[in-house]
Amino acid sequence: MQAKHLISWLGCSFAISVVNIIANSQAATALSFANTLSIPADTTDLSPLNGGSGGANVNRFGFFSDIYYDHYQNVYYGLSDRGPGGGVISYNTRVQKFSLDVDSNTGAIANFNVLETILFTKNGQYFNGLNPQLLNGDKGILGLSFDPEGFAIAPNGNFYVSDEYGPSVYEFSPTGSFIRAFQTPDNILSKVGSTPNYVDGRGTITTGRQDNRGFEGLTLTPDGKKLLVMLQDPLVNEGSSNDGRRSNNLRIVEFDTATGTSTAQYIYGLESIADINSRIPGTANDFGATSQGRNIGISAITAINENEFLVLERDNRGVGVDDPTGSNPVGSKRVYKINLTGATNVSGISLAGTNTLPTGVTAVSKTLFADIASFLKGNGQIIPEKFEGLAIGPKLSDGSYAIILGTDNDYSVTQSGSGTQFDVCTDGTTSTQVPIDSGCPTGQKLLPGYLYSLKASSTEIGRFVPAEKVPEPGTLGGLALIVLSGFLPKRKKND
């Protein structure tokens, strides 16, 4: 299976490849792996070229920083992050609307197709992936600097998007036009003393989110009344020695969608370094103590119902631009099911100086849903570094659900400290960096992006409640629609 997969990836054809998974021991359980879809890294989106020729910084498809499935329209949204420059190259941020065929019996996915590219704007200006210092000339001014990481759709069709820079939560129209910003709690904002600093990291900032560890995951409760947003890692000043890198306690922030204000914070406990290291052969490649809240983190959250959610948790190892051949052993690529019932609101509680929760504080409950790394290893496949997209897909013919996961390949681009960009090419054994958009050496290809489909039984997924939608406008006019909305049928869900 390994050789078959690599041939498909590295062959001359740029056609999207599908790897069907042979049944293994896990397939006999309530959760099974359906298949893998490999998408070439030079796939382009539909953004305007404005007379140019395209390329990584213009329209190369930015893969799945998050995935959202619209159960009413049977379409998907794939979020791009701040772009291929790592925050030092200008890039207009965007979300991709795409279609995907899902086999109603097996859950296997096929026929990825970009339908629309939606760029984020405010007052006619584009939001941009440049960091605040480079875009605005001031580390303390966020402006239009934007690193999108989490995505959901409101009942009225508007977009909710979380951002790592602030960290922030924004609401946009379906065309990508800015509507409002939610109010980020003060303890989450990155500051030096009382002064905002959206660029620097530990050693400079003293409170708030760690650098590049802001609001990574976002989901909406089915009734549309609450947003749950997760930091990727613990706050910079929380944990033993006031060091978030040593803590496994990160925060889920709850927002009221009507007011845009925060109503609660909950603790999510990352898997312990000790448990992760126990799955890594030998000790030479073990994660150290400061990796707990830095190299281990969450990537996505999606609602099952008003209390239960799926969370994607991972380490920072695997095939990617920093390790194109996957030489470092992977410790964790997992999906957990969590429950907020009984969890303590810690909005007014600091965890500075400790990894131990105070007496009376209860974290969200957490159980293993899927060990993605084991599925991939068991079927001879490579393990990508950045599993970042997670969505509950359509309901299948036997009552189970397709669970869709996606990876972020960082556009298969890396850059020097001075901002010079390079494409990352590999044949699976060796790798090469070449000038961006110049083409890979013979036998090597850019790192693709991947979509994966799991099949989860109704027992495994539990009580799933798709997000609500406002009924579509009829012929009675806006006022009559509002008056009669309680009597109009809602759009049929594809679940």
* Three-class SS of 120-162: CEECCEECECCCHHHHHCCCCCCCCECCEEEEEECCCCCEEEE
Q: What is the pLDDT of residue 26?
A: 39
Q: What is the pLDDT of residue 492?
A: 52
**Residue 36 Rama label (left phi>0; alpha psi -120 to 50; beta):** beta
Span 440-489, pLDDT tens digits: 999 999 999 999 999 999 999 999 999 888 766 654 444 444 444 444 44
Span 288-301, pLDDT tens digits: 999 999 999 999 99
Strand partners, 252: 230, 266
First to last CA, the chain: 32
Strand partners, 60: 44
Residues with Cβ < 8 Å from 127, sequence gap 6 or more? 92, 93, 119, 120, 121, 144, 145, 146, 178
Q: What is the dihedral of CA 176, 177, 180, 183, to 10 degrees?
A: 40
Q: Which two tokens stand for residue 434?
A: 């070449």
Per-residue pLDDT of the chain (495 residues; tens, 9 = 90+): 333 333 344 433 334 555 554 333 333 347 999 999 999 999 999 999 988 889 999 999 989 999 999 999 999 999 999 999 999 999 999 999 999 999 999 999 999 999 999 999 999 999 999 999 999 999 999 999 999 999 999 999 999 999 999 999 999 999 999 999 999 999 999 999 999 999 999 999 999 999 999 999 999 999 999 999 999 999 999 999 999 999 999 999 999 999 999 999 999 999 999 999 999 999 999 999 999 999 999 999 999 999 999 999 999 999 999 999 999 999 999 999 999 999 999 999 999 999 999 999 999 999 999 999 999 999 899 999 999 999 999 999 999 999 999 999 999 999 988 889 999 999 999 999 999 999 999 999 999 999 999 999 999 999 999 988 876 665 444 444 444 444 444 445 565
Distance CA 104, CA 121 (A): 37
Distance CA 264, CA 365 (A): 16
Of 255, 240, 236, the closest CA to residue 184 belongs to 255
